[in-house]
Amino acid sequence: MRMPMIAGNWKLHKTRAEARDLIEGLKSQLEGLTGVEVVVAPPFTALETAAASLAGSAIQLAAQNCYPETTGAFTGEVSPLLLKDAGCRYVIVGHSERRQLLGESDEFINRKVHALSQAALGIIFCIGETLDEREADQMFDVLRRQVRLGLKGVTPDIMKDVVVAYEPVWAIGTGKTATDAQAQEAHAFVRALLREQLGQAAADATRILYGGSVKSGNVDGLMAQPDVDGALVGGASLKAEEFARVACFQTV
């Protein structure tokens, strides 16, 4: 009942011409694919180009970040309204690179969640523990804090627009993927947290993506886990053929 989502986070990669080429490649490789929602998240500067290339295709457009205000004196920032105007359907928030490199707090991420919801945009809400936290047996506490604070004030109605991405920080860009069992354990825990906070129906309906070195060689086992509803893909989303193979995962 949860439509799988395969989302590509391009991070700080791709000029407008490269974005167009990648999307054209994806469109031809994914033609006719059903039963999975495919999303690409180019950098801000390529959003408009990407939106034009995606016109008429089922692939959805996402931004990688936003600022939680609509307009005003916020130099260098981009609002949900502007992202919607550029053609975005989703926005990624809480990515560990922003939490770590830019010091984004759970409270700030929560403001973004509400601002995006007000703009009627879908939200890809990232959470995940560092290696130190996992080794210190703090993984469950960290996930609990990130969900409680990041989704504070979120109602079951707002939650319909939220996709959670569990991304263990030690698996991002490192080539180390969580095992299928580690991913399932964390996803089941996150779903239980959602149940406590939002009720059974919202928890059952929410898609929880796994992120961390997902590629064509490991996606099938991850997608076979009952609580894994998709993937947020970094490195492997930068080449059309590889990302298309991820999007065409098999669960048998």
Closer by beta carbon to ligand PEP, 198 or else 218: 218
Question: Which of 30/219 has CB closer to ligand PEP?
Answer: 219
Question: Is 24 one of the annotated active-site residues of the chain?
Answer: no
Is 129 a binding residue for ligand PEP by CB under 6 A? The answer is: no
Min dist CB 203 to ligand PEP, Å, is 23
Say what angle helices 139-150 and 106-118 make with each other, to 10 degrees.
Answer: 40
248 and 33 Cβ atoms separated by less than 8 Å: yes
95 flagged as catalytic:
yes
Regarding beta strands 162-166 and 5-9, do their DSSP bridges make them parallel or antiparallel, or are they unpaired? Answer: unpaired
- Residue 111 has a CB neighbour count (10 Å cut-off) of 16
Binding mask 134-173 for ligand PEP (x = CB under 6 A): ---------------------------------x----xx
Judged by CB under 6 A, the chain residues 182 through 221 that form the site for ligand PEP are 211-214
Binder of ligand PEP out of 116, 127, 233, 246 (CB under 6 A): 233
Name the burial class of residue 142, with classes exposed (0-12), middle (13-18) and buried (19+) by CB atoms within 10 angstroms of its CB: middle
The nearer residue to ligand PEP, 54 or 214, going by C-beta atoms, is 214
Q: Which residues of 181-194 are buried (b: 16+ CB within 10 A; e: fewer)?
A: ebbbbbbebbbebb
Residue ranges in contact with ligand PEP by CB under 6 A: 9, 167, 172-173, 211-214, 232-236
